[in-house]
Chain A
């Protein structure tokens, strides 16, 4: 369930960032690189600003009185409710609340959770690690697998391997993440019939987890199924982009020249074609980080993985709007930052873009 909401597995050149560059290619030179980076940074700051403003107004659209969330199923007196409203700052005018919100957000103060009665930033801090681990590992494996399979598929395009690997990736791409997660959980963790499950049914670690290297293995064992689910669903887009951009490269003259020079096939691929095809793919990797993050929400829910996605899901279920708002903000900003970084790095690396 990740990619579908946005870019479909876009075949190479329709990778959006590239279109932009085709039209706005900056002049060459080191100075221009700096200027480019500054412009991108400015854009990122603007984006973050937009996220903050949008977040505030989006969450003020909510009809209803948030104090009620606090007191569900619990007997409270009117005095307690009034007190709660004061504590949450809900009795002040909207403009004041907005300025206050911006100022607090800039100081990384994301408010207090209705449900946990703790600062949201603290809750997020505690859960960022597991999500980084899951999404980071998932992304790394998916990218590795996608690029590798994509390159092989393109090199022997039309062959059986191409058809099989492209087909498999497309099927997996069409599977809802949570459903795949549940199936894997039922099959490989709970066990089917006489086959016992071999993976844990929940979380990142058990009580009394071992120390040192054994702990790494322990967590790794818990990571297998969540990671597998995430990878299965997102790797298709990397495969398809790698495949089509490598196909583009294969048609280029320099490949023919390299072959004519008598270089081994494998070497032509590794030294010439793949590095050039890699660049547009890398852009897409970063462009689509948002999808990996979205996938993490489903995966963490299915596997009770104690990360941001689970926190976000629980907040929606609550609903605990302060946590929802904080998590939303943090996820969006993280994605914007990654993107900007990628943009700048891409610019520095890609000779074609620099001299365009």
Chain B
């Protein structure tokens, strides 16, 4: 048996075990199913629908019309279909969620591994900064950033990403410390492995699953954050769920009784955020050895 197939087989049994444990909590797969649906909608929307429906100059429906056969979720203040806006908005909301979680993951993992790997003052300085970001009211910081940098999708992603990486860094650092205490790292060092080698070849693969679980939770946070920033005035400038909620507020949907316009985007946010949270928690429970006991 060649070493390669051996590794492959090990990988197979590991993923099989992972799947078994993931499935053990029904909430995980349920969340994953919602997520899959949301991502599918986001990906298929451009293929199935015409973005011209988002152009206010071409909207055909009545203003704030109630749900009907033609517009299953009613229309907005310009006569655009709320359903169409939800499907196109899912792309922006998910994109902002993923991108800012990615940004936060990259910063958090880098800082976390570095702070766990190096000792002495570099680690101290990194942890000082991490702690600082951890306690700061991140929404307040994100709002200030967005206000200063001006509107736009990039700004929103930056504002959310930069303010939310600290907890990831903490988690990854703790994990890095645990990994580096293992004997084989000692061996790798003795064999002449440099800092870079140890960090990328040994530490990173070991913390990667945890990073994944944590990122999933971050996406949930980022989507809620996007909607809150939109409500408080920092908008991406494109149709997103948060932007729709803000628009429904601006155009008085609630007092005009246009419940479809107020509820639809909000419920979408709740469903998707909930799904990310469930999947993230399930992943964490399976992957984080420290939590395995607690998952009972």
Contact = CB atoms under 8 A, between A and B. Distances in A.
Contacts of B171: 14, 16, 19
B166 A174 contact: no
Contact of B249 (A7, A175, A182, A287): A182
Interface string A268-300: 000000000000000000010111011101100
A335 interface: yes
B284 A11 contact: yes
Interface string A103-123: 000000000000000000000
A287 B225 contact: no
Interface string A1-28: 1111111111111101001101100000
Contacts of A176: 224, 227-228, 231, 242, 245, 266, 269
A171 interface: yes
Contact of B137 (A177, A186, A251, A332): A332
Given A5-B221, A301-B232, A319 B163 contact: no
Contacts of B4: none
A6 B278 contact: no
Contacts of A317: 233
A13 B170 contact: no
Interface stretch (A54-62, A217-225, A254-262): A54-62
Interface string B9-48: 0000000000000000000000000000000000000000
Contacts of A171: 270, 274
A293 B294 CA distance: 30
B217 A8 contact: yes
B227 to A, nearest CB: 5
B153 interface: no
A170 B134 contact: no
Nearest to A19: B174
A236 B39 CA distance: 26
A55 to B, nearest CB: 9
A229 interface: no
A170 B164 CA distance: 20
Interface centre among B228, B269, B285 (most CB of A within 10 A): B228
B277 A9 contact: yes
B225 A4 contact: yes
A186 B145 CA distance: 31
Interface string B121-163: 0000001100110111111111111011100000000001001
A195 to B, nearest CB: 14
A1 B147 contact: no
Interface residues of B, number: 67
Nearest to A286: B135
Nearest to B150: A63
Contacts of A298: 228, 231-232
A305 interface: no
A244 B291 contact: yes
B296 interface: yes
Contacts of A47: 128, 131-132, 135
Contacts of A4: 220-225, 273
A155 interface: no
Interface centre among B131, B166, B217, B218 (most CB of A within 10 A): B131
Contact of A319 (B132, B147, B218, B270): B147
Contact of B228 (A177, A183, A247, A335): A177
A14 B266 contact: no
A178 B231 CA distance: 8
Given A171-B274, A176-B227, A6 B167 contact: yes
Contacts of B139: 1-2, 5, 291, 294-295, 297
A342 to B, nearest CB: 10
Interface string A315-342: 0110100001000100110011001000
Nearest to A187: B254
B232 A313 contact: yes
Contacts of B170: 16, 19-20
B80 interface: no
A28 to B, nearest CB: 22
Contacts of B174: 14, 19, 22-23
Interface centre among A5, A12, A251 (most CB of B within 10 A): A5
B144 A328 contact: yes
B173 interface: yes
A174 B268 CA distance: 10
Nearest to B241: A176
A179 interface: yes
A298 B140 CA distance: 10
A299 to B, nearest CB: 11
A158 interface: yes
Contact of A14 (B145, B166, B177, B288): B288
A186 B248 CA distance: 13
A345 interface: no
A175 B269 CA distance: 7
A46 interface: yes
A50 B132 contact: yes
Interface of A: 1-14, 16, 19-20, 22-23, 43, 46-47, 50-51, 58-59, 61-62, 157-158, 170-171, 173-179, 182-183, 186, 190, 244, 247-248, 251, 287, 289-291, 293-295, 297-298, 301, 312-313, 316-317, 319, 324, 328, 331-332, 335-336, 339
Given A4-B225, A7-B167, A295-B139, 14 more contacts: A4-B223, A6-B164, A16-B166, A22-B174, A23-B177, A50-B132, A157-B296, A179-B227, A179-B245, A247-B296, A251-B293, A287-B135, A317-B233, A331-B137
User: Across chains A and B, which 4 residue pairs bring their CB atoms closest together, nearest first?
Assistant: A4-B221, A8-B217, A294-B139, A290-B137
